[in-house]
Amino acid sequence: MSETANVWQGTLALMVLKTLETLGPLHGYGIARRIEQTSGDLLSVNYGTLYPALLKLEQEGYIASAWGLSENNRKARFYRLTRAGTKQLRKEEHGWEQATAIMSRFLPAAKETP
């Protein structure tokens, strides 16, 4: 059984926006689960961190929400990406690409394991 890490500071918004772009509207649990699955279950999403992040993204206009029914017929708040959110996602993706390019200059190339 592998150990999971919490989502890294400053990356949650990017992961939420990318998840909504890829899968369309999702409720909070669905967003968290998808982030965990995409990481190969190496990351764990803390719901005490996720919901404030969703609220902040909504207040900034990057996502919008509406009430609906989940797969198990329970009332849930579904979040979707807005046009401003798509622009912000592109900006954050660019920033992340720059950061990883810089860090790769300091770290040795990953060696392939047989």
Task: Say if CB 72 and CB 64 are below 8 A apart.
Answer: no
- For residue 114, the one-letter residue type is P
- For residue 113, the model assigns a pLDDT of 58
- For residue 1, the model assigns a pLDDT of 40
Determine which helix (DSSP H) or strand (DSSP E) holds 19, and give its type and residue range.
helix 12-23
Q: Which CATH class is domain 5-104?
A: mainly alpha
SS3 label, residue 85:
helix
Residue 9 half-sphere exposure, CB side, CA atoms within 13 Å?
A: 0
d(CA 55, CA 96): 22
Q: What pLDDT tens digit does each residue of the chain (114 aa) get?
A: 456 666 666 789 999 999 999 999 999 999 999 999 999 999 999 889 999 999 999 999 999 999 999 889 999 999 999 999 999 999 999 999 998 899 999 987 766 655
Residue 85 half-sphere exposure, CB side, CA atoms within 13 Å?
A: 27
- For residue 3, the model assigns a pLDDT of 66
- For residue 10, the model assigns a pLDDT of 74
Task: Say if CB 54 and CB 16 are below 8 A apart.
Answer: yes
